[in-house]
Structure 1
Amino acid sequence: MARKARNNPRQKRSKSCGCKLCTEEYRPGEKSTRKDCTGPWQARYRDPAGRQRAKQFAGKGAKAKAEAFLDKTRDQVRTGSFVDLDRGQITLEEWREKWRPAQRIGDNTRETADSVWTNHVQPHFGKWRLQSISNMDVEAWVADRVRAVGVATIEKAFRMLDGMLTSALRDRRIAYNPCDGVRLPKAQPKHPDDVLPPTYDQLAEIRACVPEHFRDMLVVAEETGLRWGELIGLRRCNVDLEGLSLQVRETIIQVRGKAVRKAYPKSAAGSRSVPLSDRAARAIKRHLERCPASSARTAPASGMHKEELVFRSVGGGVLGRSNFWRVWTAAADKAGVSRKATNPVTGRVERWPHLHDVRHAFASRLHSLGVPEADAQKILGHERGAKITWLYTHASANSVERVRSALDGGGLRAVAS
């Protein structure tokens, strides 16, 4: 074991000092002009990795400051609470280059995160050094961003900044996380009628106004509650028209504007079997007669194979969310179902209903039919209970049959195909 240095802290020679030792080192042959040395005091220590580090103190009481620093630093290294403030001098942009590769997230989630960084976090904090970001800086940024983009967006941006600084804290680059204690504003509550999903009568009115090519797809959405990516990613090999069920085994996501085939599960509940009501089965049969699909079974890694998709665009390609959104909103306007409201915070116009509200309508329908919450959770593919599936108990083994039975004859007024 190396011996402890006896000259730690030690005084360093200085060009500006006129003592005998400093004069001999920097101005040999000259006469010293003072008795006491004014050079800085250097405290040397080893960080938790064993690297030799040093810090200098100048001015009045420099030696006492160096000794106090050594005592404190040695104690922090020994107890594991050491924070290397020098490593916190990198900018947030530089830290993100180290932090981003360690995030285990999906491609579409990473794309969203990159957008949040580029549009909201980087423009303000990108050039700031980690050590220079204070609690009040974060508070001011949150207040400014809320006025510009609203609560939902600033929540995503704040979570990213908080995650980055939490990692920096764990990496011993900063002494505290300036995001701690920052309270995000609450979103303005909406009127209960504004959060209700559309009724099936309203969905029928919208469906009547969309091009005929898409009507059967919307019927299947109403009868299964599939997410958008699951609906457009449904392949013929995963549809059992005799057994009246379909299997959700994969989805289609958008990555940098390109449709990408992705294998489930995102969660354990993602892969599931969904019952087909008679109405849904008729819609699929009718659509496949007009637009046949290959029943081949290929692996997601082999590429899109769009000929296997049950629901495609008019030209036979993969349906794009933004393209179909224009079709949906035009139909909702024509049917007189849509509502528009101006967000009082951001000033942006918000529309109702969204295509995803079809899934909410399906969940509400299951609830009104008395389907057990655990069965509804299983069919909807929720890993945990959500606001549209209420409270859950354990799913029964025959949940698929029970849901199909309820959909076909559970007392709901018949809906015309």
Structure 2
Amino acid sequence: MGSISSYQTAEGRRYRVRYRRPDKSQTDKRGFKTKREAELFAASVEMSMARGEYIEASASRVTVNELGIGWLATQTHLKPSSLRPAEIAWRVHVNPVWGTVSVGDVRHTDVQNWVSELSKKRGATTVIRAYGVLAAILDSAVRDRRLPSNPARGVNLPRKVAKEHQYLTHQQVHDLAAKSGDYETLIFVLAYTGLRWGEAIGMRASDVDFDRRRIRVSVNAVEVGTEIFVGTPKSHKRRIVAFPEFLEPALREQLRGKTQDDLVFPGEQGGHLRRATRGTRTWFKSALKAAELQPMTLHDLRHTAASLAVSSGGNVKAVQRMLGHASAAMTLDVYADLFDADLDTLAEGLNEAARKSVVGKMWARDESQGRPTP
């Protein structure tokens, strides 16, 4: 254990603890009012070094701002569509409140109060994202041995309320496509293949296989601010999707005169098509109104594709492959409402199995109690 010595100050006697760090360099901590306090500190230092949990006091004095800047610089693995929201959350919500605070001074209750106050002014998605940035920065402080544990972990977060999916019928899809002008084929592709918007606008002529009626999904063109970034599909997973036979003539017409490298659905200026979300009037909003449909987003056409696939008899594994979900479980979680009919089938199957297995006993009991025998 380190050595303890006393020294005199204007306020009275104080105690100093001298000890060696794990690298064998010597340091000390002074200012203890009693020898007992100094002994307890010396014992705690020795115990933390024995457990491999020792943290240099000066290491925790670094501010959240200093670590945050470095943390953002290391997020190169994130897609631009994920990095930009994180940067905004850091700049708008995290740094103004926590930037000047030393990581060693961050307290669990302070983080909880911050989350609670932010929840009064912002939606759950914004709050969870801002909290995630702060927590990730403090996680890096733990890994760098600046903190023994992350004080942000374990706080109560607001719950996201899942938006109810909107599904179109076959007739509604055709009505919408008919009112979409030059984008008619695009509407059909989105509603019958489940492609994400970025996957559809990034698709090139070489991705369409008419012999097998397949579309290769290999890129995702994401609009971030005023720029479009072309990268891999979500989760970096490429896939092959099928398109219905009735779509073939429209796709062939869409590709007439195009080379293999040309975009299938280019924008007016020849580049990638932009989302129809800017301004008070857009082609998509106009088409919805003309088709007498309720307001919806282009992403709702992906939900529609899932609905039409299930209603046509597609099993969950096929729908998962079409949508590019990581697992069938994820598909079921997102679209559980589309598989309600499976519950009826399950109950009917159990009923029939019970009929065959419980030879007359159940039915006889029902009859004796005045209930109709199945």
If the length of structure 2 is used for normalisation, what is the TM-score? 0.79
TM-aligned CA deviation for residue 379 of structure 1: 1.7
Task: Please give the secondary structure, in 1, of the residue aligned with 2:179.
Answer: coil
Asked whether 1:46 is paired with 2:20, we answer yes
Structure 1 CA distance for aligned equivalents of residues 151 and 171 of structure 2: 51
Structure 2 CA distance for aligned equivalents of residues 11 and 167 of structure 1: 38
Change (3 A) 1:249 1:68: same
**Quick check: 233-242 or 120-129, which moved more?**
120-129
Task: Please give the secondary structure, in 1, of the residue aligned with 2:38.
Answer: helix
For 1:295, the aligned partner's letter is Q
Task: Please give the secondary structure, in 2, of the residue aligned with 1:316.
Answer: coil
Residues 319-358 of structure 1 correspond to what in structure 2 (within 5 A)? Answer: 319-321=273-275, 326-338=282-294, 352-358=295-301
Q: 2:103 aligns with which of 130, 144, 168?
A: 130
Per-residue deviation, residues 8-49 of structure 1 (Å, max 9, x unmatched): 2334575x59xxxxxxxxxxxxxxxxxxxx564332233344
TM-aligned CA deviation for residue 53 of structure 1: 3.0
Task: Please give the secondary structure, in 1, of the residue aligned with 2:59.
Answer: helix
For 1:335, the aligned partner's letter is A
Structure 2 CA distance for aligned equivalents of residues 49 and 213 of structure 1: 70
For 2:259, the aligned partner's letter is S
> 1:85–1:174: 8 Å Cα contact kept in structure 2?
no
Specify the alignment match of 2:244 in structure 1.
277
Specify the alignment match of 2:342 in structure 1.
none
Structure 1 CA distance for aligned equivalents of residues 258 and 94 of structure 2: 45
Specify the alignment match of 2:272 in structure 1.
318
**Quick check: 325-334 or 78-87, which moved more?**
325-334
CA RMSD, Structure 1 to Structure 2 (Å):
2.7
Structure 2 CA distance for aligned equivalents of residues 336 and 152 of structure 1: 31
TM-aligned CA deviation for residue 76 of structure 1: 0.4
**Sequence identity, in percent?**
26
Per-residue deviation, residues 354-413 of structure 1 (Å, max 9, x unmatched): 11110111111111112121121112111122334559xxxxxxxxxxxxxxxxxxxxxx
Specify the alignment match of 1:82 in structure 2.
54
Residues 142-161 of structure 1 correspond to what in structure 2 (within 5 A)? Answer: 142-161=115-134
TM-aligned CA deviation for residue 281 of structure 1: 1.8
Asked whether 1:207 is paired with 2:177, we answer yes
Specify the alignment match of 2:198 in structure 1.
229
Residues 17-56 of structure 1 correspond to what in structure 2 (within 5 A)? Answer: 38=12, 40-56=14-30
Change (3 A) 1:321 1:48: farther
Structure 2 CA distance for aligned equivalents of residues 66 and 83 of structure 1: 18
Q: 2:73 aligns with which of 101, 114, 121?
A: 101
Number of paired residues?
331
Structure 2 CA distance for aligned equivalents of residues 257 and 49 of structure 1: 51
Structure 2 CA distance for aligned equivalents of residues 263 and 187 of structure 1: 27
Per-residue deviation, residues 311-368 of structure 1 (Å, max 9, x unmatched): 0112322112255783322332343323xxxxxxxxxxxxx41111101111111111
For 2:300, the aligned partner's letter is D
Asked whether 1:70 is paired with 2:39, we answer no
> 1:233–1:309: 8 Å Cα contact kept in structure 2?
yes
Q: 1:238 aligns with which of 207, 210, 218?
A: 207
Specify the alignment match of 1:216 in structure 2.
185
Structure 2 CA distance for aligned equivalents of residues 117 and 333 of structure 1: 39
Change (3 A) 1:328 1:39: same
Specify the alignment match of 1:9 in structure 2.
4
Q: 1:295 aligns with which of 260, 278, 282?
A: 260
Specify the alignment match of 1:415 in structure 2.
none
Asked whether 1:383 is paired with 2:326, we answer yes
Task: Please give the secondary structure, in 1, of the residue aligned with 2:264.
Answer: coil
TM-aligned CA deviation for residue 73 of structure 1: 0.3
Give ranges in structure 2 of 5+ residues lacking alignment: 338-374
Structure 2 CA distance for aligned equivalents of residues 100 and 76 of structure 1: 31
Give ranges in structure 1 of 5+ residues lacking alignment: 18-37, 297-307, 339-351, 392-417
For 1:282, the aligned partner's letter is P
> 2:169–2:308: 8 Å Cα contact kept in structure 1?
no
Residues 241-252 of structure 1 correspond to what in structure 2 (within 5 A)? Answer: 241-252=210-221
**Quick check: 245-254 or 323-332, which moved more?**
323-332
> 1:364–1:388: 8 Å Cα contact kept in structure 2?
no
If the length of structure 1 is used for normalisation, what is the TM-score? 0.72
Structure 2 CA distance for aligned equivalents of residues 322 and 112 of structure 1: 20
Richer in helix (by share):
2
Structure 1 CA distance for aligned equivalents of residues 183 and 307 of structure 2: 23
Specify the alignment match of 1:404 in structure 2.
none
Change (3 A) 1:12 1:206: farther
